[in-house]
Amino acid sequence: MGKILEVQNLHVSFKTFGGNVQAVRGVSVDLYKGETLAIVGESGCGKSVTFQSVMRLIPEPPGSIDSGSIFYKNKDLSKLSDKQMRKIRGKDISMIFQDPMTALNPTLTVGDQITEGLIEHNSMSKRAACKLAVNMLELVGIPDPDTRLNQYPHQFSGGMRQRIVIAMALVCQPEILIADEPTTALDVTIQAQILELFKEVQEKTGVSIILITHDLGVVAQAADRIAVMYAGKIVETGGRRDIFYSPQHPYTKGLLHSVPRLDLDDQELVPIHGTPPDLFSPPLGCPFAARCNEAMEVCTKIYPYRTQLSDGHHVECWLQDERAKQLQSGRV
Amino acid sequence: MGKQVLLEVENLKKHFFLEKGEVLKAVDGISIQIFKGETFGLVGESGCGKSTAGRTIIGLYDRTDGSVSYDGDDVHGMNEKETFAFYRKMQMIFQDPYASLNPRSTVKEIILEPMEVHNLHSGKRARLERVYQLLEDVGLNREHANRYPHEFSGGQRQRIGIARALALDPEFIIADEPISALDVSVQAQVVNLLKRLQKEKMLTYLFIAHDLSMVKQISDRIAVMYLGHIVELSNSWELYKKPLHPYTQALLSAIPIPDPDVEDRRERIILKGELPSPITPPSGCVFRTRCPFEMDICATEKPVWQEVEEKHYAACHLYNSEQPGDKAKPQLAGWR
């Protein structure tokens, strides 16, 4: 399957009173056609900023894309004007956000909001757009769509609102859907409904999905490939099985050990000690070194290069270096 | 040795009276017993009344009906002086570590305040020593005492909240979603801290949360709430192994497990619809509108609370012994 989106060495920073926050510090990631790629990381790791930059939604200033490129269909999105970008947003690439309450305009009917994209991008008549919108609402599982089209967001529950946001995002049949914590604000039983919906929609439309989340359970359930982010960098990328069954980066391992599993009895949680580094002045070497039990001298000084472990499984860690391996075997 | 019941909640109700004579029945008759030294988990989704239950138990809300007795004393029947003394025994940890600490006080002042109010550890020096000791107990250090809350991360702030709750040397702590605002790696830190403190200080916990996998980690017994009612209660591993109530079954099946192979094998019960309004709850069993096993009786009669298996309680008509539907007990093939 072909690549549909290529992010290369992206750097994003924000100017604040306290100085420059380097939120994204050299992220490279590819998205393939028809897959679900999960971006996992804790708050402040830059996972949302990375994809808000892809959509060019970060306010510039204070934010700025300092370097790197974002290739979509031979176009570098980071270089496009606002006008050019508007043609892509919502039509080719759509985004949905965590909080369905704030993502919808409370003063417009959901019908107005779903059809807006169609009228703007496809120059459709209002009538034709409404017809499509009804189909969309049906697809996302909203009963009685003809009536619901003329209602306002406050007349819907949280789960229903998220369905409407998904309908809005998908109505122009985009190739890429970026979902930023789409189920975090929802209850688990509703989360299960929404994740099921993603699967159905992907089967029907073939859309590629980027799922940004902190929930490893959701990832295990929904992702094909996973990229783990920490302090503005992608520290490990791999298939679902690579990441869960042979994680190589100490941060990935730590994350997996710190989540409770419903199906295990007497599981001992092993937390990662400490907290993530301050991105005003990120450490010179590996940002995880201060919290890592296996850190070596080199880790605090030089950022590790990317090592390929198998097809599609990459990790950025000094432990993969031949010299580190010799050192370890030497100790034994 | 028999277990000593420390907290007894009987048929507790908390109704909020709204405009136009509407009544929101947030908690509608719950009964629980919490034993000394255990961790009792109360789980449910948003709006099920679990936080209201916690706040009514400690007396932050007046009850509408029912009773709460702590170590034999009626919590809601106390006079001012008795309530004051009661708070030395029971303390609370709140969900949002950003909102529950005064931004204009230093950590020292925050932890000192309850000691000053209750006039404990007379003398400035002794109190200060106690603050340092508490900070160390929760994994911070004495240098942190003069800083302000905004200088700390979420996890550290939650530790400060815990230190404040411990300042009065309570026996019982109600923790209302103490970790849901924190990152996963930090959640584990705080849960392990709570477990350690429980051992060291012989604490009893009421742990309120929506995240069943974390609650199962820390709790000895768990009660599941839905729309103001407790629908099931059992020890935590049993609850996972053999959930009886259809709601518990659906809730468990909806929680993703961080293991792809397990996820691929699992069959999910996807509940239809959403939580009904607690202002106009369904008649009979409150869960019936979403229940895959709904029967005629469910609309007309409230299910009774019964011990279905040893020390495993549920309120569901499927388990009525004289019920013709007895043979059709919910068997969820391989839902796990």
Q: Kindly list the residues from chain B whose CB atom is less than 8 angstroms away from the CB atom of residue A254.
A: 185
A262 closest CB neighbour out of B210, B240, B270: B240
List pLDDT tens digits, range A257-278. 998 888 888 788 888 888 888 8
List pLDDT tens digits, range A66-94. 999 999 988 999 999 999 999 999 889 99
Query: What does the pLDDT read at residue B322?
Result: 58
Q: Kindly list the residues from chain B whose CB atom is less than 8 angstroms away from the CB atom of residue A220.
A: 256-260, 262-263
| Planar angle of CA B151, B157, B158, nearest 5 degrees | 170
What's the rounded Cα separation, in Å, for the pair A176 and A32?
A: 10
Inter-chain residue contact B45 with A188, CB threshold 8 Å: yes
Q: Kindly list the residues from chain B whose CB atom is less than 8 angstroms away from the CB atom of residue A219.
A: 258
CA of B208 to nearest chain A CA: how many angstroms apart?
A: 15
CA of A258 to nearest chain B CA: how many angstroms apart?
A: 5
Residue B9: what residue type?
Answer: V
User: Mean pLDDT by 10-residue block, N- to C-terminus, for chain B (336 residues)?
Assistant: 85 92 92 95 90 93 94 92 93 87 93 91 88 89 88 86 92 91 83 91 93 90 95 93 94 91 88 83 92 92 92 93 52 44
Q: Is A159 on the interface with B (CB under 8 A)?
A: yes
Local structure of residue A163 (DSSP, 8 states): H
Q: Kindly list the residues from chain A whose CB atom is less than 8 angstroms away from the CB atom of residue B274.
A: 157, 159-160, 190
* pLDDT-based confidence at residue A252 (cuts at 50, 70, 90): very high
Q: How far, in whole angstroms, is CA B14 from its chain's centroid?
A: 16
Query: What does the pLDDT read at residue B329?
Result: 52
Of A60 and A164, the one with more pLDDT? A164
Q: Kindly list the residues from chain A whose CB atom is less than 8 angstroms away from the CB atom of residue B213.
A: 217, 259-262
List pLDDT tens digits, range A31-43. 999 999 999 998 8
Question: In this prediction, what percent of chain A has a pLDDT beyond 90?
Answer: 54
Q: Kindly list the residues from chain B whose CB atom is less than 8 angstroms away from the CB atom of residue A272.
A: 185, 188-189
Query: What does the pLDDT read at residue B327?
Result: 46
CA of B324 to nearest chain A CA: how many angstroms apart?
A: 30
Q: Is A271 on the interface with B (CB under 8 A)?
A: yes
Question: Which residues have C-beta within 8 Å of that of residue B305, sequence separation ≥ 6?
Answer: B31, B230, B313, B314, B315
CA of A235 to nearest chain B CA: how many angstroms apart?
A: 16
Domain residue ranges in chain B:
5-89+170-328
CA of A233 to nearest chain B CA: how many angstroms apart?
A: 18
What's the rounded Cα separation, in Å, for the pair B231 and B31?
A: 11
Inter-chain residue contact B259 with A261, CB threshold 8 Å: yes
* ipTM of model: 0.79
- For chains A and B, count residue pairs whose Cβ atoms are closer than 8 Å: 121
| Fold classified for A3-84+213-261+268-331 | Rossmann fold (3.40.50)
Class of domain B5-89+170-328 as given by CATH: alpha beta
Query: What does the pLDDT read at residue B46?
Result: 83
List pLDDT tens digits, range B62-120. 999 999 999 999 999 999 999 999 999 999 998 887 888 999 999 999 999 999 999 88
Cβ proximity of B186 and B178 under 8 Å: no
Does residue A223 surpass a pLDDT of 50? yes
Q: Give the three-state DSSP class for A326.
A: helix
Biggest CA–CA distance in chain B, Å, is: 71
State the SS3 of chain B: CCCCEEEEEEEEEEEEECHHHCEEEEEEEEEEEEECCCEEEEECCCCCCHHHHHHHHHCCCCCCEEEEEECCEEHHHCCHHHHHHHCCCEEEECCCCCCCCCCCCCHHHHHHHHHHHCCCCCCHHHHHHHHHHHHHHCCCCHHHHHCCHHHCCHHHHHHHHHHHHHCCCCCEEEEECCCCCCCHHHHHHHHHHHHHHHHHHCCEEEEEECCHHHHHHHCCEEEEEECCEEEEEEEHHHHHHCCCCHHHHHHHHHCCCCCHHHHHHCCCCCCCCCCCCCCCCCCCCCCHHHCCCCCHHHHHCCCCEEEEECCEEEECHHHCCCCHHHHHCCCCCCCC
Q: Is A152 on the interface with B (CB under 8 A)?
A: no
Q: Is A270 on the interface with B (CB under 8 A)?
A: yes
Q: Is B265 on the interface with A (CB under 8 A)?
A: no
Q: Is B184 on the interface with A (CB under 8 A)?
A: yes
**Residue of chain A whose alpha carbon sits nearest to that of B263:** A221
Q: Is B45 on the interface with A (CB under 8 A)?
A: yes
Cβ proximity of A23 and A13 under 8 Å: yes
Query: What does the pLDDT read at residue A331?
Result: 54
